[in-house]
């Protein structure tokens, strides 16, 4: 249907309105039972997000009309060719307009995207690559396609387009936004005005009372913490088919640079580990066109400071998964909750986060440090079944980064060392390493940038901390 309308709705405009929900995400599935509507919504999201970062929209439906219309040139190659035959992502990505910020990746020479491609673990690598360079990958697929659930679990979240009740294939706790028609409002009958009742005796005006704002407690579902998956462990043997996959991965690394933020450094273009070792420079104030939100991690940070992950080689074995317990705008309240419950849970800690639709600083308490998402799911289920969390509270998140306070601590002394930091209002926790020693961590972060505010707070307390992929297991 012309003009971006499906069933009389401008899905592209509705998608653009919901784009802010994806600000913290880097790889998102856009799905619904109407693939055309999903594609149009993805275009709206992509155009809105492309004002600040590069965006690639991938067609997993198969020559879906709204995306196919944006494809230019005679080259028929697309996603299927990249996954099956090793065609470079640089080759299949088609620039949409002169801005150079929005790209479309067509389905390719095979009109049907197979379930094997939907379930391919390579999506984890691509998601990690887009995350490293600050770009956004939008994948459009039908909610009825086989493998869509597995695909959703490998990305940062899902945008549901259309009737949410009919979309049963995606995990509900990963939905970032629901793009749908606004509800119809039936105008009420006019009500005759009623004259105000005036008291016979004039009332004295009470003096104004200034009330202190109460701390805001938000459920964990509202926390902007997206699912971030680390790279899967390499196979012990390399069959012939895997050699093609290796070639595609290296092509993907090159493609990441294409989708990097404008002006981002390209010094890591030739290094396999460049994305994980590249420094993240944090500006000291919001310049023209930048966010002036005081909750932004870049506010008040020394511009000469660069944060670097100290152990990029450990990304494959990071203990990335945990459970969000609660979020509040009162740090003392978050620490109190941590002292009450978090100390009794594995890897309990407090992290500053952004809350969707809220201004100011919020503090998130989470627990658990697991290498598998299902382990975090088990912890969440246990917390709910024992009444420590309500049945609809809490959510599993992937936060592979943490700050190291001390390393090579003996197992016997580890908990005492962590408790010592706790007495200083530092929510530290020990993780046992493979050599039998313990490492003392604090915080759990989705990205290196998210660690900067806590690192600055620790520096003000005279505590040195270094950013690591967190590894190990609870004592």
pLDDT in tens, 412-450: 999 999 989 988 888 899 999 999 999 999 999 888 878
What is the third-level CATH fold of 2-179?
A: Rossmann fold (3.40.50)
Banded pLDDT at 342 (limits 50, 70, 90): low
Q: Label residue 426 left, alpha or beta by phi (over 0 means left) and psi (-120 to 50 means alpha).
A: beta
DSSP β-bridge partners for residue 28: 138, 157
Every domain of the chain with CATH number 3.30.70.1070 lies at 312-469
pLDDT tens across 264-323, in order? 433 333 333 333 322 222 222 233 233 333 333 333 333 333 468 999 889 888 999 999
Q: 111 in helix, strand or coil?
A: coil
DSSP β-bridge partners for residue 328: 217, 363
Banded pLDDT at 8 (limits 50, 70, 90): low
Phi, psi of 30 (to 5 degrees): -110, 115
Q: What residue spans of 406-468 are helical by DSSP H? A: 411-422, 452-460
Q: What is the pLDDT of residue 104?
A: 94
State the DSSP string of 146-166: TTHHHHHHTSSEEEEES-GGG
Tokens of 186: 């039936």
Task: Answer for the pair 353, 364: CB distance below 8 angstroms, yes or no.
Answer: yes
Q: What is the pLDDT of residue 60?
A: 94
Every domain of the chain with CATH number 3.40.50.300 lies at 2-179
What is the third-level CATH fold of 312-469?
A: Alpha-Beta Plaits (3.30.70)
Q: What is the pLDDT of residue 389?
A: 85
pLDDT tens across 87-145, in order? 888 889 999 988 889 999 999 887 677 889 999 989 988 998 898 888 999 999 998 88
Q: Label residue 434 left, alpha or beta by phi (over 0 means left) and psi (-120 to 50 means alpha).
A: alpha
Note the maximum CA span of the chain: 94
How far is residue 63 CA from its own chain's centroid? Answer: 28
Phi, psi of 338 (to 5 degrees): -65, -45
Between CA 13 and CA 133, with CA 52 as vertex, the angle to 5 degrees is: 120
- Reference 272, options 244, 252, 245, 292; nearest CA is 252
pTM (two decimals): 0.43
């Amino acid at each position: 249907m012309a003009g971006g309308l499906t069933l009389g709705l401008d899905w592209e405009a509705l998608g653009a309105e919901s784009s802010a929900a994806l600000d913290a995400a880097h790889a998102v599935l856009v799905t619904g039972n109407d693939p055309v509507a999903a594609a149009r919504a993805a275009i709206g999201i992509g155009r809105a997000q492309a004002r600040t970062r590069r965006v690639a929209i991938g067609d997993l439906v198969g020559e879906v009309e709204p995306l196919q219309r944006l494809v230019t040139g005679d080259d028929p190659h697309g996603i299927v060719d990249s996954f099956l035959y090793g065609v470079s992502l640089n080759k299949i990505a088609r620039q949409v307009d002169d801005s150079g910020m929005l790209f479309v990746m067509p389905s390719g020479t095979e009109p049907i995207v197979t379930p094997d491609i939907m379930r391919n673990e390579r999506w984890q690598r691509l998601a990690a690559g887009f995350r490293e360079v600050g770009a956004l990958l939008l994948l459009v697929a039908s909610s009825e396609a086989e493998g869509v659930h597995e695909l959703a679990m490998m990305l940062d979240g899902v945008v549901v387009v259309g009737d949410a009740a009919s979309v049963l294939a995606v995990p509900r706790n990963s939905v970032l936004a629901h793009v749908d028609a606004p509800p119809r409002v039936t105008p009420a009958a006019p009500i005759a005005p009623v004259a105000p009742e005036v008291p016979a005796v004039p009332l004295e005006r009470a003096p104004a009372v200034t009330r202190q704002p109460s701390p805001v407690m938000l459920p964990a579902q509202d926390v902007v913490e997206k699912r971030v998956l680390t790279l899967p462990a390499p196979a012990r043997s390399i069959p012939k088919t895997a050699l093609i996959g290796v070639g595609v991965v290296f092509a993907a690394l090159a493609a990441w640079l294409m989708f990097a933020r404008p002006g981002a450094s390209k010094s890591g273009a030739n290094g396999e580990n460049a994305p994980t070792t590249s420094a993240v420079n944090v500006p000291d104030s919001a310049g023209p066109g930048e966010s002036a939100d005081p909750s932004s991690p870049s506010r008040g940070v020394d511009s000469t400071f660069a944060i670097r992950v100290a152990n990029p080689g450990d990304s494959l074995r990071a203990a990335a998964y945990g459970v969000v317990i609660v979020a509040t705008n009162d740090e003392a309240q978050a620490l109190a909750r941590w002292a009450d419950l978090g100390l009794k849970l594995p890897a309990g800690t407090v992290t500053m986060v952004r809350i969707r639709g809220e201004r100011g600083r919020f503090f998130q308490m989470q627990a658990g440090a697991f290498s598998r998402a299902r382990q975090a799911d088990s912890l969440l289920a246990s917390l709910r079944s024992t009444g420590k969390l309500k049945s609809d509270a809490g959510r599993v998140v992937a936060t592979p980064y943490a700050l190291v306070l001390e390393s090579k601590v003996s197992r016997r002394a580890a908990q005492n060392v962590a408790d010592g930091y706790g007495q200083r209002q530092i929510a530290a926790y020990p993780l046992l390493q493979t050599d039998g020693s313990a490492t003392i961590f604090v915080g759990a972060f989705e990205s290196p940038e998210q660690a900067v505010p806590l690192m600055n707070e620790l520096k003000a307390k005279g505590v040195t901390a270094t950013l690591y992929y967190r590894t190990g297991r609870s004592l």
